[in-house]
Amino acid sequence: MLEMKSFHCACGNILYFDSTRCLRCQQDVGFDPLEDGMRRLKPSLRLCANGRMHGVCNWLLPADSPEAFCASCRLNRTIPDLSEGRNLRHWGLMEAAKRRVIRTLLNLGFRLPTLEEDPQDGLGFDILSTTLDPSATMGHLRGVITVSLEEADDTWRQINLQQLGEASRTLLGHFRHETGHFVWHRHLSRLAWDHPSRHAFREVFGNDSESYADALSRHYEQGAAPDWADHHISAYAASHPWEDWAETWAHYLQMVDGFETCDHLGIRGGGVNLPLVILPMESCTLPPGLTAHPGEDANFHAWLQRWICLAAVLNEISRSFGAPFLYPYIITPDVARKLRLAHHFAQMWAVRAFPGGAG
C-alpha cells in the first residue's frame, strides 16, 4: 500500500525512525518528512525546536523555513507543564507515537494543516495531564484530539487495560484510534445522509444516528454482546458505529505500518506452516453504491490474507518468548468488510494516489 522505505545514513549504516545519531559515523541525524527519509544534519536542514530545546523530536525542517516546529509538533495546541517531574519523559513518549501516526497519514496522502491554517479541516493536539486537570475529556472534538499524558505511564496504562477488559492498549494505538474520529468528522460527517459514502458506512458499520452517549453508557454498564467478536475487531468497537469505525481505522493503520516494517526487515509471512482460515472473497468487496476499480477487491483480499499469515507468525514468535500475543485479534468476514471500506475511504480521501499495492 505504501512504498517500503529503508532508512540508512549516508555512510551506509542502517538507521531507524527514531534515530538521532548514526552509531557508525557518529553524525547527528533526523527524519525529513518532505523526503520521507533519514538525513544528516547539514546547513540546509535544522532540527525541530522541540528537539533542540527538549530532546523530544528528531524531525527536520528546511533551514530557511519560517516555522520553528516540524510538521508533527506544529500540530500541538497544548503541551504538558514541563516543570512537573516525569512530564518531559512522558511527553517525549507521546510525541514519538504521534510522529509515527502523522507520518502514516502523510504518506497515505492526507493533508494535515493546523487549525490556525484551516479552522474547518485542520488538526490539533492537546496533550495534558488528567491527574492535574480531572475535568479534561479525552477524545476528538471538531479537529482537536485530546490525549492524557498519563497514557505514557506503563503502569497506569496497564491498569486501564485490565479495568476496561482490553486485549491491547498502546500509545500508538490510542493516537491511531483518535485519528479515526478525526477523518470521520472531516470527510464523512458533513456529507448528506443519503450520500453513497454515508449509506455505505451504515450498511457496514450500522446506524450512527443512535445516541452516542446512551450507547457508551450502555456499553460500560452492560458490556458488549456475547457475539461481539463475530462482528467487531474489539469489544469497544461494539459500543457504537463511531467507535467501531475508529477501532477499525486504527487496525487499518496498524496493518499499513506493520507491513512496511516487516517488508523493510525482510519478513514476508508467506507460506506459513499453520492452519489458517481463508476469508471468503465476498468479505473483501464494497457495499452497493460504491464502485471498485478492476482488481481492487482481489488485491485487498490477498493483502488481508497476507496480514493474517504475518500476524500468526508474529504471535507464535511472541509466545515462544513467553510473552502475550502481539496481535490478539481475529479478523472475521464482517471485520474484513469494515477494513475493506476503510481502505476504500483512505484512497478516496487522499490528496494524491497510492503508489501501488492493495488497490
Residue 2 has pLDDT above 50, yes or no: no
* pLDDT score for 262: 84
Could you give phi then psi for residue 356, rounded to 5 degrees?
Answer: 155, -175
CA distance 186 to 106: 15
24 lies in the same domain as 89 = no
Last residue of a domain, one of 125, 159, 187: 187
Last residue of a domain, one of 138, 162, 187: 187
Whether 346 maps to a domain, the answer reads no
* pLDDT score for 272: 65
Q: Domain count for the chain, please give it.
A: 2
178 lies in the same domain as 77 = yes
83 lies in the same domain as 180 = yes
Whether 49 maps to a domain, the answer reads yes
Last residue of a domain, one of 187, 222, 254: 187
* pLDDT score for 271: 62
75 lies in the same domain as 181 = yes
Q: Find out whether 7 and 30 touch, Cβ atoms under 8 Å.
A: no
CA distance 163 to 147: 18
CA distance 264 to 218: 43
Helices (H), the chain: 49-54, 87-108, 154-164, 171-187, 196-205, 212-222, 228-231, 241-265, 296-320, 333-349
Mean pLDDT of 295-302: 94
Q: Return the C-alpha cell found at 197.
A: 459514502
Whether 353 maps to a domain, the answer reads no
Q: Find out whether 115 and 124 touch, Cβ atoms under 8 Å.
A: yes
* pLDDT score for 204: 98
* pLDDT score for 4: 43
What DSSP assignment string belongs to 271-291?
Answer: T-SS--PPPPGGGGSPPTT--
* pLDDT score for 357: 38
Report the mean per-residue pLDDT for the chain.
Answer: 91
What digits encode the pLDDT tens for the residues 101-122? 999 999 999 999 999 999 999 9
What digits encode the pLDDT tens for the residues 33-69? 999 999 999 999 999 999 999 999 999 999 999 999 9
| Domain membership of residue 29 as a residue range | 1-70
Q: Find out whether 51 and 30 touch, Cβ atoms under 8 Å.
A: yes
CA distance 240 to 297: 27
Q: Return the C-alpha cell found at 227.
A: 457475539
What digits encode the pLDDT tens for the residues 235-281? 999 999 999 999 999 999 999 999 888 888 777 766 666 666 789 99
What digits encode the pLDDT tens for the residues 319-352? 999 998 989 999 999 999 999 999 999 999 987 4
Whether 311 maps to a domain, the answer reads no
What digits encode the pLDDT tens for the residues 143-200? 999 999 999 988 878 888 777 777 788 999 999 999 999 999 999 999 999 999 999 9
Q: How many CB atoms lie within 10 A of CB 52?
A: 11
92 lies in the same domain as 168 = yes
266 CB-contact burial (10 Å; exposed 0-12 / middle 13-18 / buried 19+): exposed
What DSSP assignment string belongs to 291-317?
Answer: -PPTTHHHHHHHHHHHHHHHHHHHHHH
The model's pTM = 0.93
3-state secondary structure 114-132: ECCCCCCCCEEEEEECCCC
What digits encode the pLDDT tens for the residues 196-246? 999 999 999 999 999 999 999 999 999 999 999 999 999 999 999 999 999
pLDDT category, 19, cuts 50, 70, 90?
A: very high
Residue 5 has pLDDT above 80, yes or no: no
